[in-house]
Amino acid sequence: MVEVIIDSLKRSGWNVGTLAGNWFCAVSDTQPRGLIFGYLNEMSDDVMAKISEFNIPIWDAIVFCPTGFDSAQLKKHRFPGIQLWYWDLEMGNLFPFPPTKKRDIPNMLQQIASGTPITLNVEPQLPKLSTPYFTYVLLGINVIVFLLMTLAGGSTNPDVLITFGAKVNSLIQAGQVWRLLTSMFIHIGILHLAFNLYALWALGPVTEQSYGHGKYFAIYMLSGLGGSLASFLFSPALSAGASGAIMGLLGAQLLFIYKRPYLWKTGLGMNLVIVILVNLGFGFWQPGIDNFAHLGGLFTGMLMGLIFSWKTFAKPKSTKLS
């Protein structure tokens, strides 16, 4: 790893030298900043004294962590006034300390990986977020179905609900298993629709961006089916709604954040946990809410998130920058 960075820096016109121990220093005649880097277990207290010899105002330190990153290391950092970047080589995550939104070092490492010249004073444009096509399609389907139900006699009319495909256990047992799918696009009343559309509008684009269009659609549909199946197995009541699918998105997004410590530490993960607990608690407290569908969708979404994240959870034998 160190050799790769040294070679890339030299080819980009940087001057690289050895500091105390096996730590290295890189400076450039064209940029008013310097870079030091080395392995966590080879840190030396003499490094600060060495870099003070340079008349450079801005310094970054990349700390390689071959066996993973422990947040306890933040209390032991020996470079006050320097922006530290702890690189977990097991998971591939980069932890800035103190926390910062600057992209200099992550961009530099991307430049090394792509073989382009290294610069630390230019911020490349971040990639644009992709359009959440499937979220828009799902929102549209739910609205269209609701309007058709309203024209047919009202979305709270039991006959209309059954005609459009609500979950009715006796009919599913009679062979109408398609109701496990159609029920996730039906809503009982305008408030039911409004709550679920808002949740899908808020959560859908984020989850679709996280997993990609195809995996997102699979998570939504399978979570909806999982919720319908759980409701069929444990609740005899007529039910309908996209809540199971939306809870599945919550579960999948929770897994996505969990496997990325830098996101979890922002509080996003705990926020999702709170949202999930509030929804489940409200479902147990308020009669008429199918919490079995919520739980079935949640567990299915978490399972799908785990499957789609399997390669990330599995520890690689080695990590190389190429």
- Residue 16's pLDDT is 84
Indicate if 294 belongs to the active site.
Answer: yes
Chain-centre distance for alpha carbon 229: 27
83-105 exposure pattern, b = at least 16 Cβ within 10 A, e = fewer: bbbbbbbebebebbbeeeeeebb
* Between 234 and 15, the higher pLDDT residue: 234
Catalytic residue among 8, 223, 243, 309: 243
CATH number of 133-311: 1.20.1540.10
Indicate if 243 belongs to the active site.
Answer: yes
CB-CB contact of 187 with 193 (8 Å): yes
pLDDT of 159 higher than 70: yes
- Maximum alpha-carbon separation in the chain: 83
Arithmetic mean of pLDDT over the chain: 82
pLDDT of 154 higher than 90: yes
- Sketch the domain layout of the chain as residue ranges: 2-114, 133-311
CATH number of 2-114: 3.40.50
Cα gap 114→106, rounded to integer Å: 12
- Residue 77's pLDDT is 61
- Residue 74's pLDDT is 65
Catalytic residue among 155, 192, 294, 309: 294
Decide: pTM greater than 0.75. Answer: no
115-133 exposure pattern, b = at least 16 Cβ within 10 A, e = fewer: eeebbbeeeeeeeeeeebe
> With the CA atoms of 245, 251, 255 and 258 taken in that order, what torsion angle do they form, in degrees rounded to the nearest 10?
140
Q: What is the pLDDT of residues 214-228, one digit of tens each?
A: 999 999 999 999 999
pLDDT of 88 higher than 70: yes
